[in-house]
């Protein structure tokens, strides 16, 4: 290394003055103390400290104390080709990672980018990934110009390479350093204030008083211009983007106090305020830090991921199995998945054979066999034997993680209530600033000595942050809670729409019914069932499968000899079982192949079945009808109760089905639905037409399976996919019910109402807090320090109330 280049002390890392460097040695020290301490550390075998310290240093360097970066590379043709997409002629879209976002107000600010950069069409922040999706007109601006503007607003944009967690980690690190400096400044300024206070009693000499006031001013300025700089940067960015932002009143408060303190320090008269200001900066940063962490925890995708994947995994290290948090797994790790456990990450089977259930992902309920070399997806359940799996992808990079990335508030359109909060927030800041000016002027008239204190207190105590947090946080928490109940929701607007009753259309097959044929009734000769079971094993028809399953449940596992099977005819099957000629089929099929009349018991049963919209399947042995089986798709056991509960909550429930209208009408009657709301014989486009009528209120909800009802799900105000896996379900609709049955529907509706209630309560609390606290500050009843303590408390109370949101499990 050249001696002219800057080097750090081998021990403490501080710069080494050139004069202290020695030629021909590998270690440099900034002072003799460090040389001695280094010798001690080495002598006692603690060199590993320096490796750790080096990592810290590299991290510090990576988090940017270097020169301001250039963003020109973002406009290079190769980058543009690889990392941006054309959304419309002359428009492109890209995602930038953003460092430095610390609260809800930053989201407001960054989403106002179209106001700052002409040519930017839309900017959407993804808080969880700490990224900004931006769409711009290529004729008017470029990605580099946008990144430059984002940087000018006080954030660090970069191509989205690091994960959201890393970026948040870097922001946390920076905030912690600021917090540390603010703490040291506040602590020392408090000591100086104490000295000054005691000096009043001890008749401290005037030069000493002035010296201490000067010292307080210096430490206060360090705090204001160091860690407190973040408020001024935020306020300036707010000013530039013409977005009233919570940093504006805080920065005004700090600026008013700082200028007044500086003037008083120079003139040697009046309060210097710097002890209060330093404490304010520290408390405000502390509150903001806690709030950001809480908020992120609530909105974290990992919470949603944990609903389908385990929190811990068994990592195999040198043959030893260690239980570790699933988040710490990395590609290449080996994990053990025991029978009955959920696979924690995407991977490849290395050892063991087992059966695995991938239902949550694909909807396929039949287990598939896996052996070494087979791929496994996170969220799959290992059913039989322990497997050793090599991890290929973890967390957000897994198949399930990528699907669930859509399950977040920012993925869908913003709920109306969120937009309302945005609008109120803007006016709120303006109102607060006006109130502060009135307070300052009023108190200057009444008692000038306290005017600055009261105005600063008012600016500090007002907390638009609580308003800004009230909605997105409650929505994030609700989505997380729903995911735990296996209800996956894309976008917060869904919750708002489901909170108000409207019309709810249900598909019949597979939604209200179980979606597969089964034998509901058997009348006639029971001994024939064994032969029927044996014969139907030769067919793959759904009715045949239902009969085989029915026979198996009644103990007919034997294998009578079956010969001469003929299933080429429409409507039934024929064969010879243990020497008897057996026919199974519908009435027209059996009619022409039997000789005698129908036994009365069979005839009566068949008529009952037709009345109940169950298909009769006749069984004839040696030319005589001996039994009849009623085959149909049964209603889900909880269907009637769920429909009843939805109706109690004010929803107009109806059925849209492709089945025969008589069948649909019958099902509707069984569920207690009005005939006018039960529509059968519909083609997919007919379903879409019904869904679009919107005659029952603001919301029209369609519940169906993503494959057959895709169009109707998309046309509805809210589409709810059931049955198939999360992969295709969430593709077709913004809501996917992963739990079997319909009970999740009531849960979803109740949860949505409860979410909206929480949002309103959050709003009410934050508005009431601001009204009361601003009033108290204006009348001089609270000081700046109390204000600084109260401000984060209001945000935290909103966080607390949102976290308390319950997602009740409805009884089926």
- Please identify, among the stretches 27-35, 142-150, 229-237, 727-735, the one whose residues bind another protein according to the rule CB under 8 A: 27-35
* Distances from the Cα of 735 to the Cα of 257, 412, 488, 634, 655, angstroms: 51, 11, 6, 25, 19
Taking the C-alpha atoms of residue 797 and residue 800, their distance in angstroms, rounded to an integer, is 5
For β-strands 375-376 and 346-351, DSSP reports them as antiparallel
CA nearest to 543, candidates 565, 577, 567: 567
Residues 644-663 that bind another protein (CB under 8 A): none
Taking the complex as a whole, how short is the minimal distance between the CB of residue 191 and another protein, in angstroms?
6
Q: In the complex with another protein, which residue's Cβ is closer, 43 or 323?
A: 43
Taking the complex as a whole, how short is the minimal distance between the CB of residue 422 and another protein, in angstroms?
34
The answer to whether 204 contacts another protein (rule: CB under 8 A) is: yes
Contact pick of 138, 151, 163, 195 for another protein (by CB under 8 A): 195
Residues 739-768 that bind another protein (CB under 8 A): none
DSSP state letter for 369 = E
Q: In the complex with another protein, which residue's Cβ is closer, 27 or 430?
A: 27
Contact pick of 94, 103, 219, 726 for another protein (by CB under 8 A): 219
Q: In the complex with another protein, which residue's Cβ is closer, 30 or 451?
A: 30
The question of whether 333 is a catalytic residue gets the answer no
Taking the C-alpha atoms of residue 614 and residue 626, their distance in angstroms, rounded to an integer, is 19
Q: In the complex with another protein, which residue's Cβ is closer, 142 or 278?
A: 278
Taking the C-alpha atoms of residue 745 and residue 752, their distance in angstroms, rounded to an integer, is 11
- Please identify, among the stretches 202-210, 286-294, 406-414, 564-572, the one whose residues bind another protein according to the rule CB under 8 A: 202-210
Tokens of 656: 């849209």
Contact pick of 7, 13, 159, 521 for another protein (by CB under 8 A): 13
Q: In the complex with another protein, which residue's Cβ is closer, 143 or 181?
A: 181
Please provide the DSSP assignment of 156-206 as one string: EEEES-S-HHHHHHHHHHHHHHHHHHHHHHHHHHHHHHHHHHHHHHTT--H
Taking the C-alpha atoms of residue 263 and residue 271, their distance in angstroms, rounded to an integer, is 10
Contact pick of 1, 2, 24, 32 for another protein (by CB under 8 A): 32
Taking the C-alpha atoms of residue 357 and residue 73, their distance in angstroms, rounded to an integer, is 46
Contact pick of 22, 72, 364, 447 for another protein (by CB under 8 A): 22
495 in Cβ contact with 416 (< 8 Å): no
Q: In the complex with another protein, which residue's Cβ is closer, 46 or 601?
A: 46
Q: In the complex with another protein, which residue's Cβ is closer, 192 or 655?
A: 192
Q: Contact letters (x/-) for another protein, 59-78, by CB under 8 A?
A: -xx---xx------------
Please provide the DSSP assignment of 294-310 as one string: HHHHHH-HHHHHTTTS-
- Cβ atoms within 10 Å, residue 703: 27
- Please identify, among the stretches 19-27, 90-98, 514-522, 788-796, the one whose residues bind another protein according to the rule CB under 8 A: 19-27
* Distances from the Cα of 181 to the Cα of 282, 510, 792, angstroms: 8, 62, 19
Please provide the DSSP assignment of 767-804 as one string: HHHHHHHHHHHHTT-S-HHHHHHHHHHHHHHHHHHHHT
The answer to whether 15 contacts another protein (rule: CB under 8 A) is: yes
- Cβ atoms within 10 Å, residue 375: 13
Q: Which residue in 357, 392, 507, 523 is the catalytic one? A: 507
Neighbour order of strands in the sheet with 320-325: 320-325, 312-317, 334-337, 387-393, 346-351, 375-376
The answer to whether 233 contacts another protein (rule: CB under 8 A) is: no
- Please identify, among the stretches 17-25, 95-103, 251-259, 697-705, the one whose residues bind another protein according to the rule CB under 8 A: 17-25
Interacting residues with another protein (CB under 8 A) = 6, 8-9, 11-15, 17-20, 22, 30-34, 36-37, 39-41, 43-46, 49, 53-54, 56-57, 60-61, 65-66, 173, 176-177, 180-181, 183-184, 187-188, 191-192, 195, 198-199, 202, 204-205, 207-208, 211-212, 215, 218-219
Which of the residues are catalytic?
507
């Amino acid at each position: 290394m050249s001696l002219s280049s800057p080097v750090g002390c081998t021990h403490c890392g501080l710069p080494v003055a050139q004069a202290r460097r020695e030629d021909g040695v590998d270690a440099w020290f900034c002072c003799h103390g460090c040389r001695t301490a280094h010798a001690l550390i080495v002598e006692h075998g603690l060199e590993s400290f320096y490796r750790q310290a080096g990592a810290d240093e590299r991290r510090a360097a990576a988090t940017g104390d270097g020169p301001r970066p250039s963003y020109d590379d973002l406009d290079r043709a190769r980058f543009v080709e690889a990392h941006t997409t054309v959304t419309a002629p002359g428009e492109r879209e890209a995602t930038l990672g953003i460092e430095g976002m610390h609260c809800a107000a930053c989201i407001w600010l960054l989403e106002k980018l179209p106001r700052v950069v002409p040519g930017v069409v839309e900017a959407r922040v993804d808080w969880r990934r700490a990224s900004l999706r931006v769409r711009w007109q290529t004729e008017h601006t470029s990605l580099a110009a946008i990144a430059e503007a984002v940087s000018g607003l006080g954030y660090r944009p970069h191509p989205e390479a690091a994960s959201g967690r890393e970026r948040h980690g870097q922001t946390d690190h920076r905030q912690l350093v600021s917090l540390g400096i603010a703490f040291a400044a506040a602590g020392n300024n408090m000591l100086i204030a104490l000295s000054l206070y005691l000096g009043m009693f001890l008749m401290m000499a005037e030069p000493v008083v002035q010296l201490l006031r000067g010292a307080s001013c210096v430490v206060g300025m360090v705090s204001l211009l160091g860690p407190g700089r973040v408020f001024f940067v935020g306020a300036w960015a707010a000013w530039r983007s013409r977005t009233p932002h919570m940093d504006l009143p805080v920065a005004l408060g700090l600026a008013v106090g700082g200028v007044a303190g500086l003037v008083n320090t120079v003139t040697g008269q009046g309060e210097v305020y710097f002890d209060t200001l330093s404490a304010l900066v520290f408390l405000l940063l502390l509150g903001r830090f806690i709030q950001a962490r809480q908020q992120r925890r609530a909105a974290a995708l990992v919470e949603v991921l944990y609903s389908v994947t385990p929190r811990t995994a068994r990592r195999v290290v040198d043959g030893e199995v260690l239980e570790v948090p699933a988040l710490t797994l990395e590609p290449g790790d080996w994990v053990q998945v025991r029978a009955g456990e959920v696979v924690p990450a995407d991977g490849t089977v290395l050892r063991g054979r087992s059966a695995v259930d991938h239902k949550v992902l694909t909807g396929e309920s039949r287990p598939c066999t896996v052996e070494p070399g087979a791929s496994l997806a996170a969220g799959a359940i290992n059913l039989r034997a322990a497997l050793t799996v090599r991890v290929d992808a973890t967390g957000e990079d897994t198949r399930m993680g990528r699907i669930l990335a859509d399950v977040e508030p920012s993925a869908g359109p913003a709920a109306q209530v969120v937009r309302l909060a945005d609008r109120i927030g803007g006016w709120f800041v303006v109102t607060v600033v006006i109130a502060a000016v009135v307070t300052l002027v009023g108190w200057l008239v009444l008692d000038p000595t306290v005017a600055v204190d009261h105005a600063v207190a008012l600016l500090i105590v007002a907390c638009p942050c609580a308003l800004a947090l009230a909605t997105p946080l409650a929505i994030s928490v609700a989505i997380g809670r729903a995911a735990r109940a296996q209800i996956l929701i894309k976008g917060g607007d869904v919750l708002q729409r489901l909170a108000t009753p409207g019309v709810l259309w249900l598909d019949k097959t597979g939604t209200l019914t179980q979606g597969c044929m089964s034998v509901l009734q058997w009348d006639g000769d029971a001994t024939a069932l064994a032969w029927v079971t044996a014969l139907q094993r030769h067919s793959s028809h759904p009715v045949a499968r239902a009969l085989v399953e029915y026979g198996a449940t009644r103990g007919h596992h034997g294998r009578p000899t079956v010969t001469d099977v003929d299933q080429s005819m429409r409507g039934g099957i024929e064969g010879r079982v243990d020497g008897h000629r057996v026919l199974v089929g519908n009435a027209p099929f059996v009619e022409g192949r039997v000789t005698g009349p129908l036994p009365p018991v069979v005839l009566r049963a068949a008529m009952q079945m037709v009345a109940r919209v169950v298909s009769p399947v006749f069984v004839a042995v040696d030319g005589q009808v001996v039994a009849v089986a009623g085959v149909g798709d049964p209603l889900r056991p909880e269907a009637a109760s769920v429909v009843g509960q939805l109706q109690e909550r004010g929803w107009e429930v109806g059925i849209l089905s492709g089945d025969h209208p008589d069948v649909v009408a019958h099902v509707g009657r069984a569920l207690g639905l009005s005939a006018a709301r039960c529509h059968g014989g519909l083609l997919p486009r007919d379903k879409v037409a019904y869904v679009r009528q919107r005659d029952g209120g603001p919301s029209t909800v369609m519940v169906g399976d993503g494959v057959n009802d895709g169009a109707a799900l998309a046309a509805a105000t809210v589409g709810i996919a059931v049955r198939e896996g999360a992969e295709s379900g969430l593709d077709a609709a913004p809501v996917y019910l992963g739990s079997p049955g319909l009970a999740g529907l009531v849960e979803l509706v109740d949860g949505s109402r409860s979410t909206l209630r929480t949002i309103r309560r959050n709003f009410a609390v934050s508005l009431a807090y601001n009204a009361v606290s601003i009033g108290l500050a204006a009348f001089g009843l609270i000081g700046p320090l109390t204000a600084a303590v109260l401000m984060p408390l209001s945000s935290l109370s909103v966080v607390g109330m949102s976290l308390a949101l319950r997602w009740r499990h409805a009884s089926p």
